[in-house]
Structure 1
Amino acid sequence: MQAYLALPIVIIAGFLIVKKYNTQAVLFSTGLLMMLLGVTFGAGEFLPNGVNSSGSVFFDFFLTIKSLASSNMANLGLIIMSVGGFAKYMDHIGAADSMVRIATKPLSKFSSPYIVLALAYILGQILNIFIPSAVGLAMLLLVALFPVLVRIGCTPASTAAVLATTACLDLGPGSGNSNRAAEVIGIDAASYFVEYQMLAAPVIMIVIAILHYFTQKYFDKKDSENGVVNTLKEQKTEDKGAPIWFAILPVMPLAFLLIFSRFAIDSINVDVVTAMFVSLFIAMVANFIVTRDGHKVADSIKVYLKGMGDVFASVVSLIIAAQTFVAGLAGIGFISLLLSSTANLGLGILAMTIIMVTIIGLTAVLSGSGNAAFFSFSSLAPDLAVQTGGAVGSITLSMQLTAGIMRSVSPVAGVVIACAGVAGISPTDVAKRTAIPMIGGVVTLLIMSVFV
């Protein structure tokens, strides 16, 4: 019965996160609390598999955190940090700006504002493959694309809503959630991208784009009838003066991962971290060719390292906290209750996927983090697949994509807050405009999961 104590604890955790308590602190503390309650009621073991007890239950609580931190830092954490550092370096030398300038230029040729908004979403989602940070991509688009869209007749509010969703699917080997999903399934990140994400993503993107067209048109008409006027806040940005050919640099990691894989040259194996380091080396050489300043290029490595540190502070620490939270759920018996209930109720793969998608979606909306939502429950996918007789890849894909999609509906998500600030409206107003397209995306995802 102690497993049911997890429910009020989860609700309290959600409430604290909504009240803007530090997400990592909330997840760490509630995870430890559930471990303590599990021990108190004799629920069983909470230490990760393969970790021996220190001999003291008190120290074992923190040994769990140390074990989770060690495993994450050695594998997935290093992947995410290397990606974060590379994204920071691309922004520093202006390569990301060059890529966005090239990609967004054709949109100015269209005259219908709502068609342009739909196309802008698809373009942004494709760029997300090469610029895996939701907030980072949004900030680039807010500078390069926002004024263009407003100039051709799109309202600031509708533009903000579209740009807030451009990274909602977390596509590509550079995404932390994608790497975690690949790890859960037992394949490499490039294979997950090609064999899973690219089967479902194009259809979901089209549905979201169409829904954006009608949703933004409806809300703009409603605002017009109510006399609501939104004003664009000017974005100040530094022109880094990068040559246009720098646009190829952000594409290199993905190119390496796809070329040196079983899809092309399988005699050479390149993982995500290696691809990032090789791409960084090439980018530094390119930077030297342009600047001819050895000291400046040598110092620029600090940008990459700082980017790695920033990602650790924001994303990797959140992942460790989320997994501590899951360890607490397991320690109090909630995970076992969930799995046994699945078996007893005889739920099929689709019904169980809907339940997990709902849980993850709510977590993402409350926390504003797709990483926290997916990492909290991703480890359940293999067991749920066994219980329901379904494919682990199908349920994992649904869980992974849902986390990013529903993050775009959260008024506390960084990307929503950033876009709302530029548009001069509240994050809640942006979330209202993203809700219908994102819910439509989840429904489409569930339908597609049957065929993946």
Structure 2
Amino acid sequence: MIFQSNKTIKFEILFILWKEVIIVILMTISGILIVIGTIYCLIKRYETRLVLFCSGLLMTFIGGNPMGTMQAFSHAMLESKLFESIIAVMGFAMVMKLTECDKHLINLLIKPLRKAGTFLIPAAVLVTFFINISITSSAGCSAAVGAILIPLMIAAGIHPAIAGAAIYAGTYGAMFNPGYPQVALIVSVSDSNPVAVVANHFYPLLLCGVIGAMSLWVVAKIHHEDKGYKLQGEIVKQTEDFHVKLSHAIVPLVPIVILVLGSMNIVPIFKPLSISHAMIIGVFCAFLITRKNPQDISKEFWKGAGNSFGSVFGIIICALVFVNGLTSIGLIQQLIQTMINIPSVAKISSAIGPFLLGVMSGSGDAAAVAFNKAVTIHAADFGILPMSMGSVVAITGALGRTMSPVAGGMIICATLAGVSPMETAKRNAPGMIIATLAIMVIMLFIE
């Protein structure tokens, strides 16, 4: 009797264990299918926030935590520090557009490029790379710079696909900006400060920019697309009579200068200023120099602030809901455990994962936010510096997006060049792949 009782107990325990294993397997399979479906919907360009929110909601239901979605939503809405930075940066960007200070900065940098010859290709990439520090939106920067530089490059004999690719290849320079939302996110998960984060990835990111520029130049050379392209008619006259005012051109750089000088204690009076404060000072500088109607400036600033909540911060909120769904269904825990057991997997996946998601979805932000919020907070367990892992995630996500044919900025550049997005994307691919491998090795395996 006792023997049978023990046997029955063992059988029941074994049955419970197998039941738990089966449940975990089914939940994991369900989670993987939902993730694949999410990626597919993003590739098909369904509304990003809707896709992420619904995917997260579905996973929390499967994971037995239906209220988790609402709790994640409420928690994300309380990210006050991140929200403050985002609305200030986007508001400032709208003021720069209104006052045309961004146009003065662009034209100041474009005019010397006319004498660059075949080196106009890498020069255009690096100039866009630099401008993107101030005009942080990849789509906005593509439109602003591409509208001027792409016709200029085509008129100089460069193939339209290379011209379009050159502009979009420089649209991840925003990671140099201490006020950029992705930098702010890295700060929040690494318990650091914006300037320290930028300083940590400054040289690796600069190397990525150079790799992207020179790789595209090599691709153009190999395919003989760097010169000799014939275009009927004259299409570049719009910048000939534009009078650049240096005072206007430096305004977009004011907030960055204030933040850097303050954080490095070069100008102690700037040290207490936050990102939002620096942006507001930049807005006042724009008013003093351009003398635009202050009512119009105020309207544009708050218009940018409102747009940032709906677009940038809205994606962040829904990405956090998606992360909560991944956690509820157990995928995050399994990923983290695998990374803990095999640290090299964490280093590789933190670069390759966001990169591939960026390529497939056309958005580096959603993948980077989700990965940083879910995995980077555990970086110390993998033997990785959280700040370095966070930067690699954000940068590789942007690199993947930069070679994605479904990215909004890529479509803008291709349209301006008169070619298909796939034509521009495939020319950027070699440089972005090499840059991803380079930053992964430098920041995660060497440092």
- TM-score strictly above 0.5: yes
In the alignment, structure 1 residue 372 sits paired with structure 2 residue 363:
no
After superposition, where does 1:144-293 map in structure 2 within 5 Å?
A: 144-171=148-175, 172-194=177-199, 196-220=200-224, 243-266=245-268, 268-288=271-291
Shift of 1:96: 0.3
1:358 deviation in Å?
A: 1.8
Which residue is 1:51 aligned to?
none
Q: 1:49 — aligned with what?
A: none
What CA distance in whole angstroms lies between the structure 2 residues aligned with 1:308 and 1:383? 28
Q: For the Cα contact (< 8 Å) 2:247–2:289, is it kept in 1?
A: no
Aligned to 2:99: 93
Tell me if structure 2 keeps the 8 A contact 1:95–1:242: no
| Whole-angstrom CA distance in 2 between matches of 1:327 and 1:140 | 37
Question: How many Å separate the matches in 2 of 1:354 and 1:139?
Answer: 33
Kindly tell me: are residues 361 and 14 of structure 1, through their superposed partners in 2, closer, same or farther at Cα, counting changes over 3 Å? same
Alignment match, 1:63: 71
Q: Is the 8 A contact 1:85 1:308 kept in 2?
A: yes
In structure 2, the residue matched to 1:360 is 354
1:332 maps to: 329
Residues 82, 173 of structure 1: alpha-carbon distance in 2 compared, 3 angstrom cutoff: same
TM-superposition CA deviations, 1:241-294 (whole Å, max 9, x none): 774420010000001101111342346322111111111122122222xx5xxx
2:390 paired residue number: 396
Find the structure with the greater CA-based Rg. Answer: 2
Name which of 304, 309, 314 aligns with 2:311.
314
Which of residues 45, 62, 65 is equivalent to 1:20? Answer: 45
Q: CA deviation at 1:214?
A: 0.9
Letter in 2 for 1:427: P
Q: Which amino acid aligns with 1:215?
A: V
User: Once the two structures are aligned, what percentage of the paired residues are identical?
Assistant: 26
- Please tell me whether the aligned partners of residues 168 and 410 of structure 2 are also in contact (alpha carbons under 8 angstroms): yes
Equivalent residue runs for 1:388-427 within 5 Å? 388-427=382-421
How far apart, CA to CA, are the structure 2 residues paired with 1:236 and 1:308?
34
Bigger mean CA offset, 326-335 vs 136-145: 136-145
Cα pair 1:339 1:387 within 8 Å, conserved? no
2:76 maps to a residue whose letter is: L
Question: How many Å separate the matches in 2 of 1:190 and 1:325?
Answer: 29
Per-residue CA deviation, residues 79-116 of structure 1 (Å, 9 max, x unaligned), is 112111111110111100001111121111122x2x21
Aligned to 1:10: 35
Q: State how far apart, in whole Å, the 2-side matches of 1:298 and 1:231 are.
A: 45
TM-score relative to the length of structure 2: 0.87
1:408-447 paired onto structure 2 within 5 Å: 408-447=402-441
Amino acid at match of 2:153: L
1:12-65 CA distance string (max 9 Å, x none): 1111112221111010000011111111xxxxxx6xxxxxxxxxx54x532321
Q: How many aligned positions are there?
A: 418
Runs of at least 5 residues in structure 2 that lack an aligned partner in the other structure = 1-23
Per-residue deviation at 1:412? 1.4
Following the alignment from structure 2 to structure 1, what is the Cα–Cα distance between the partners of residues 182 and 278? 18
Paired with 1:235 and 1:78, the residues of 2 have a C-alpha distance of 40
What is the identity, as a one-letter code, of the residue corresponding to 1:153?
G
1:451 Cα deviation (Å)? Answer: 3.6
Which whole-Å CA distance do the structure 1 matches of 2:32 and 2:171 have between them? 31
One-letter code aligned to 2:267: I
From the superposition, tell whether residues 383 and 66 of structure 1 become closer, same or farther in structure 2 (CA, over 3 Å): closer
> Relative to 1, partners in 2 of residues 1:339 and 1:33: Cα closer, same or farther, differing over 3 Å?
same
User: Contact between 2:159 and 2:227, CA under 8 Å: does it hold in 1?
Assistant: no
Aligned CA-pair RMSD: 2.6
Equivalent runs, 1:3-152 vs 2, <5 Å: 3-39=28-64, 58=67, 60-71=68-79, 74-111=80-117, 113=118, 115-152=119-156
Is the 1:197–1:397 contact (alpha carbons within 8 Å) kept by the matching residues of 2?
yes
User: Structure 1 432/262 Cα, relative in aligned 2: closer, same or farther at 3 Å?
Assistant: same
What SS is found at the alignment partner of 2:63?
A: helix
| Structure 1 range deviating more: 144-153 or 95-104 | 144-153
3-state DSSP of counterpart to 1:379: helix
CA separation in 1, counterparts of 2:431 and 2:231?
21
